[in-house]
Each structure stands twice: as C-alpha cells, then as structure tokens.
Amino acid sequence: MDQVLGQVLRNAVWERLDMLADLADRADAQSLVSVARSELPRLTEGWRAMLKAHEPDERGDCPTCSTRWHRCKAPCSVWQAAHEHLVAGGLAPQQTASAASRLRPGRRRAAVPGQPSPAETTGRHALVPPRRATAPA
C-alpha cells in the first residue's frame, strides 16, 4: 500500500511541475503574473523545507542522505541541485530549451510537430488554451 501511495504522490508532483512548465511556456502575461504570485511563495517554501532537511549536522554530514554505514558529506546532491537550479542556472547562458526537455523522463509531446498532444486537446490546464495546429503558409 505504501508503494501505491508513494506512486500517487510522485505522479501528482510530476503533473504539477508539468503544468507549471506549460504555463511558463504558453500562458499570457496576466495569467503568468497571477500564477507567479500564487506559486512562487509555495515553491520557495518547498525548497526551504527540503533544504532544511538536508542541512549539514555538526560533523558536516547530511542527516537525510546519510545512512548508518555510509556518511554523506555536505553539500549533498539536494544542495548541489538547489545551487545548480536556483543560483548557477540563473547565471548560465540562456538556451532555447523546449518545454519537452523539462518534462520528466518518459513523458513525450506530440509525435507530429505542430499537432497537439492528447493532454493538450482535453483542456487539462484552465489558464492555457490548447495549441492549435496551423496549416503551412
């Protein structure tokens, strides 16, 4: 039962991240401002809670990543990922990455360029209208 609940929780988090990535790529400016005001505080609090759990102990070990037999020295992979995505990523040259590159592994967009995926045609995100295929000009 724990595995089922764990999978449900993981799926919900991945879907939320996918939705936010879609919004960042496709929502209009007014919707983006609204989402930023509601989601940025939640995301920063989530990062803070996760980083607090990985704060090094008095020996410089991560108490969450360490086991009885293997001590994990700080900074652990969680702190490294936080730095990469929150600090270093902001300084890196901007790349034109598609939204598909941000989707979790195994998730795919439409197989045919310009054609909406099944999820996009169901209106799963209220703030983002489904993309419409355009005829070549």
- Residue with more model confidence, 129 or 76: 76
Q: Does pLDDT of 75 surpass 90? A: yes
Q: Are 110 and 116 in contact (CB under 8 A)?
A: yes
Q: How far apart are CA 69 and CA 135, in angstroms?
A: 61
Tens digits of residue pLDDT in 44-53: 999 999 999 9
Read off φ and ψ for residue 104, nearest 5 degrees.
-60, 155
User: Amino acid identity of 18?
Assistant: D
Exposure string of 29-66, with b = 16+ CB inside 10 Å and e = fewer, is: eeeeeebeeeeeeeeeeeeeeeeeebebeeeebbeebb
Tens digits of residue pLDDT in 17-45: 999 999 999 999 999 999 999 999 999 99
Q: Where are the beta strands (DSSP E) in 1-137?
A: none
Our measurement of the distance from residue 40's CA atom to the centroid of its chain's CA atoms, rounded to an integer in Å, reads 12
Q: What is the pLDDT of residue 109?
A: 43
